[in-house]
Chain A
Amino acid sequence: MRFSTFLRLGWLCATMAASGIAAAELQWNLQRPNTALAQDIYDLHVLIMWIITVIFVGVFGFMFYAIVRHRKSVGHKAAHFHESTTVEIMWTVVPFLILVVMAWPATKTLLAMRDTGQPDMTIKATGFQWKWGYEYLDEGIKFYSVLATPRDQIEGSAEKGEHYLLEVDNPVVVPVGSKVRVLVTANDVLHAWYVPALAVKQDAIPGFIRDAWFRADRPGIYRGQCAELCGKEHGFMPIVVKVVTQDEYKAWVSQQKQGASAAFDPKRAYTLAELKTEGEKVYRTHCVVCHQPDGKGMPPTFPPITGGRITTGPKAGHIEIVLNGSKRNPMMVAWGPQLSDFELAAVLTYQRNALGNSKGDSVQPAEIIAARN
């Protein structure tokens, strides 16, 4: 623990003790809403807090009055009443009426929240262990979104950045003012797509598609996290939504489409160096959380790449386990559906020729295509 930590804590305690209120920068309520619905929820929460505060003060006002005035030490003699039907009926009926008052705005907001009809655009969000995959159904854009915080910040060997753990390589980009429907599903285990400022939290369930929607009021960057425990990297798969103007959005879409059209040629034979360069990127994005940056893995669950039985064995076995996953170890999922032929060829080549391995052979996209069939 660093000295600055102690200082910070000490300062905090001192401020709180001295003034009775904590620092102004602390967040005391829901995040600042960025959709009309998020605003409704914010207001609903504030309303409910007022109601319960009043009831709380009322009920415990009675209790503390009794504690002060009806104590034996001030000579108070105990009364003997222990029943009153009138009072019992009253404190059954009155709370019920208060509940009706609370249920009314809650129901209205809920009905609005669940109305996912007539969206301006639809994005499919898929939870993976441990990243999000996005697909713009109308535009045909697809990409993965992976935590961008470097490992050394997490392990404490580098200063933590402003958006520590809440930053990704590829944010979701949406236009301001459009009704965005999000289809949420998962590939492996449960996840949840949660962005507080947009008031969306929807569980991602493998095999099922659920939906939610938002219409952002202001451009800006809104950050959230996976909200359903999904394994060891649950805390490390954030969601970043970048809300831009309609023009910026159009520019972004066409740029994405161009990037996609510069795709690879399945008939070409790639050099080992080309594959290795691309493979390193794929490894850093998809493999590194389990098999570790140095390829040593975390045995027994996550076996090493370096000198591994499979990664230094025959190509066919290596292709098979990466493409289709492991039968024995459910943590090794099938990467065939997630990665392209080129990406798979690249990462396999990388694993066989880097991280301490030097098989000297390359895996060509054509071999992946053959193995897929």
Chain B
Amino acid sequence: MEAVHGHDHAHDHQPSGIMRWVTTTNHKDIGTMYLWFSFVMFLVGGVMAFTIRAELFQPGLQLVNPDFFNQMTTLHGLIMVFGAIMPAFVGFANWQIPMMIGAPDMAFPRMNNWSFWLLPPAALLLIISLLVPGGSAGAGWTLYPPLTVQQGMGMDLVIFAIHILGMSSIMGSINIITTILNLRAPGMTLMKMPMFVWTWLITAYLLIAVMPVLAGAVTMTLTDRHFGTHFFNPAGGGDPVLFEHIFWFFGHPEVYIIAIPAFGVVSQVIPAFSRKPLFGYTSMVYATASIAFLSFVVWAHHMYTVGMPVEAQLYYMFATMLIAVPTGVKVFNWVATMWQGALTFETPMLFAIGFLFLFTLGGFTGLVLSLVPVDVQLHDTYYVVAHFHYVMVAGALFAAFAGVYFWLPKWTGRMYDETLGQWHFWLSMIFFNVTFFVQHFLGLAGMPRRIPDYALQFTDFNMISSVGAWGFGLSQVLFLYVVLKAIRGGEKAPQKPWDGADTLEWTHLPTPAPYHSFETPPDVK
């Protein structure tokens, strides 16, 4: 407790009201803003998913025209990936990394503020793009040309939004890496860092490596559109497949940029509720690093059907299958952590187990898709849609929920309502599977993705999926209610509400965590 100062210092006359948030350089304030921003974006992207599933409830065109439908699928993807999931985990990083390594704040507090405040304009660009003539980009979140070259000015707004989001991510990553490498408390060696910190260190390197690649790809699209270049135009000697290669060189690591911090959260939550240390810490670190490395050399498994040489297909197939090994190690380690523990099942643990169960399922369908002959049948069908929602929603999003319930007491000083939290878990779990499990069957039967209307044999599963999606969406309103209820009048939380939690924020800081923590570093044994 000696690390905490009883009263605030002279440098704390901060502005009040809205200016507090605009000018703040405090990692906790910025983390809070990231989390709220991502939740708002989650709702915006969710409304788009509602629209998509409403149109797909039955065959025929009822609610929207195909153009608008394509804009919905495109923006839903972009907003959920760049607006909801990524900022959510940056929010966790901001709150948790300094507290977990015994640092007073992030290494570059002003840049931290700038990283966050770049996000709202980018989000506005994405949303405004719906209102310009011709509407937003309708080329899918993968933005494949030549379709992107045909689109109206909404496409340009999306490109600029991606530029800004990329800048924000790169600055955020530089900040995280510098903080972790330079601001650890004495005694906190790399191999003593909490797993969450490790996963973010690795993720930040991934981000720095691939965000510029995405920026390059969309800039080439921009110059093809307006400045007469022919990077992707075969009539001028370009190649549309070039874009796919560049995009997926970004896109595959991006999958792990989303998944790896989720692994980190789960690696904190499972030991805490098993009352037992994380099994195989060292192998977890190496497995995470291997996954990150492999993610750079498998990108073309998203493009098995472009007609690349069979040798290339074989290479990408073998390399992709290999990812199952380190991923398997992680799953086995989590199960081994639970084995012989003294388990309790509060909401964070429920979401972590939900993550473990469903993420593994998504991993298995990934293995199915890694096999080229099978993928040729399933590529660009609903099977793929089901697969990546298992990894992104049941994976990353469930881990984020686990993290919020886990750390909310430390952040706010209040406990959430356990009953309602568990309701949130079970509703999410059930409706998620109602929505996405049946999509595997749609894909197997041959329903392509990104279509606003479908043949009659796909009707039943689409109806089930739509009902599930609406239920899943509404369940998230309950989440908002639980969080607000906790903040406004939750029971006072003790310093360490979870028996098995053993990282610095629980052992060394009071609840709620003070505005400035660890101004003098703690002693780590």
Residues of A within 8 A of B (CB): 1, 5, 8-9, 12, 22-23, 26-31, 37, 40-41, 44-45, 48-49, 52, 55-56, 59-60, 62-63, 66-67, 70-73, 76-84, 87-88, 91-92, 95-96, 99, 102-103, 106-107, 109-111, 113-114, 153-156, 160, 162-166, 184, 188-190, 192, 194, 196, 199-203, 205-208, 210-211, 223-236, 300-301, 330-331
Instruction: Give CA–CA (A257, B314) in the complex, Å.
Output: 42
Contact residues of B between 299 and 316, Cβ < 8 Å to A:
305-307, 310, 313-314
Q: Are A201 and B379 in contact (CB under 8 A)?
A: yes
Shortest CB-to-CB span from B142 to chain A, Å, is 8
What 6 new A-B contacts, CB under 8 Å, besides A27-B441, A78-B341, A189-B147?
A28-B441, A56-B364, A107-B314, A110-B373, A114-B310, A208-B241
Shortest CB-to-CB span from B457 to chain A, Å, is 6
Q: How does the 8 Å CB contact mask read for B217-258 relative to A, with 1 for contact and 0 for none?
A: 000000000000000001100011100000000000000000
Query: Chain B contacts of A331 at CB under 8 A?
Result: 150
Nearest-CB residue, chain A, relative to B375: A201
Shortest CB-to-CB span from A97 to chain B, Å, is 10
Q: Does B138 contact A (CB under 8 A)?
A: yes
Shortest CB-to-CB span from A104 to chain B, Å, is 11
Count of A-B contacts with CB under 8 A? 296
Shortest CB-to-CB span from B238 to chain A, Å, is 8
Shortest CB-to-CB span from B312 to chain A, Å, is 11
Q: Are B306 and A62 in contact (CB under 8 A)?
A: no
Query: Chain A contacts of B376 at CB under 8 A?
Result: 41, 113, 199-201
Nearest-CB residue, chain B, relative to A71: B343
Q: Are A188 and B146 in contact (CB under 8 A)?
A: yes
Q: Are B321 and A99 in contact (CB under 8 A)?
A: yes
The answer, among B310, B343, B364, B371, for a CB contact under 8 Å with A66, is B343
Instruction: Give CA–CA (A300, B59) in the complex, Å.
Output: 28
Shortest CB-to-CB span from B390 to chain A, Å, is 13
Instruction: Give CA–CA (A103, B120) in the complex, Å.
Output: 46
Q: Are B332 and A91 in contact (CB under 8 A)?
A: yes
Contact A153-B60, Cβ < 8 Å, known A27-B444, A165-B454: yes
Contact residues of B between 125 and 168, Cβ < 8 Å to A:
133-134, 138-140, 144-147, 149-150, 152
Max chain B CB contacts within 10 Å: which of A28, A200, A206? A206
Q: Does B494 contact A (CB under 8 A)?
A: no
Q: How does the 8 Å CB contact mask read for B435-461 relative to A, with 1 for contact and 0 for none?
A: 000000100111010111111110111
29 CB contacts below 8 A, A to B, read A8-B460, A9-B463, A23-B460, A28-B444, A37-B373, A40-B373, A52-B368, A59-B331, A59-B335, A67-B345, A70-B343, A71-B344, A78-B274, A78-B275, A80-B276, A81-B340, A82-B279, A110-B313, A110-B372, A155-B60, A156-B62, A166-B455, A189-B146, A223-B455, A225-B446, A229-B70, A232-B65, A232-B138, A233-B66
Q: Are B371 and A70 in contact (CB under 8 A)?
A: no
Instruction: Give CA–CA (A301, B151) in the complex, Å.
Output: 9
Q: Are A228 and B454 in contact (CB under 8 A)?
A: no
Contact A31-B460, Cβ < 8 Å, known A41-B373, A229-B144: no
Q: Are B306 and A203 in contact (CB under 8 A)?
A: yes
Shortest CB-to-CB span from A109 to chain B, Å, is 4
Q: Are B453 and A165 in contact (CB under 8 A)?
A: yes
Q: Are B58 and A1 in contact (CB under 8 A)?
A: yes
Nearest-CB residue, chain A, relative to B441: A28
Q: Does B43 contact A (CB under 8 A)?
A: no
Nearest-CB residue, chain B, relative to A38: B377
Contact A60-B357, Cβ < 8 Å, known A102-B371, A111-B310, A229-B147: yes
The answer, among A5, A70, A113, A235, for a CB contact under 8 Å with B339, is A70
Q: Are A196 and B446 in contact (CB under 8 A)?
A: yes
Instruction: Give CA–CA (A165, B448) in the complex, Å.
Output: 12
Instruction: Give CA–CA (A31, B149) in the complex, Å.
Output: 35
Q: Does B464 contact A (CB under 8 A)?
A: yes
Query: Chain B contacts of A88 at CB under 8 A?
Result: 280, 283, 329
Query: Chain A contacts of B380 at CB under 8 A?
Result: 192, 194, 201, 227-228
The answer, among A82, A154, A156, A199, for a CB contact under 8 Å with B277, is A82
Query: Chain B contacts of A23 at CB under 8 A?
Result: 460
Max chain A CB contacts within 10 Å: which of B58, B152, B313, B336? B336
For the complex, would chain A's binding face be called helix, strand, loop or mixed by DSSP majority?
Answer: mixed
Instruction: Give CA–CA (A207, B149) in the complex, Å.
Output: 15
Query: Chain B contacts of A224 at CB under 8 A?
Result: 446
The answer, among B277, B307, B356, for a CB contact under 8 Å with A63, is B356
Instruction: Give CA–CA (A30, B322) in the complex, Å.
Output: 25
Q: Are A48 and B325 in contact (CB under 8 A)?
A: no
Instruction: Give CA–CA (A95, B377) in the complex, Å.
Output: 25
Query: Chain B contacts of A40 at CB under 8 A?
Result: 373
The answer, among B277, B329, B356, for a CB contact under 8 Å with A91, is B329
Nearest-CB residue, chain B, relative to A163: B455
Q: Does B430 contact A (CB under 8 A)?
A: no
Ranked nearest first, the 5 interchain pairs of A and B with the lowest CB-CB distance are A207-B234, A210-B307, A235-B451, A196-B446, A79-B340
Q: Are A165 and B371 in contact (CB under 8 A)?
A: no
Instruction: Give CA–CA (A137, B94) in the complex, Å.
Output: 62
Q: Are B144 and A48 in contact (CB under 8 A)?
A: no
Nearest-CB residue, chain B, relative to A110: B372
Query: Chain B contacts of A27 at CB under 8 A?
Result: 441, 444-445, 457
Instruction: Give CA–CA (A211, B308) in the complex, Å.
Output: 10
The answer, among B59, B278, B306, B341, for a CB contact under 8 Å with A210, is B306
Shortest CB-to-CB span from A46 to chain B, Å, is 10
Query: Chain A contacts of B338 at CB under 8 A?
Result: 63, 66-67, 70
Contact residues of B between 348 and 381, Cβ < 8 Å to A:
353, 356-357, 360-361, 364, 367-368, 371-374, 376-377, 379-381
Query: Chain A contacts of B305 at CB under 8 A?
Result: 192, 201-203, 227
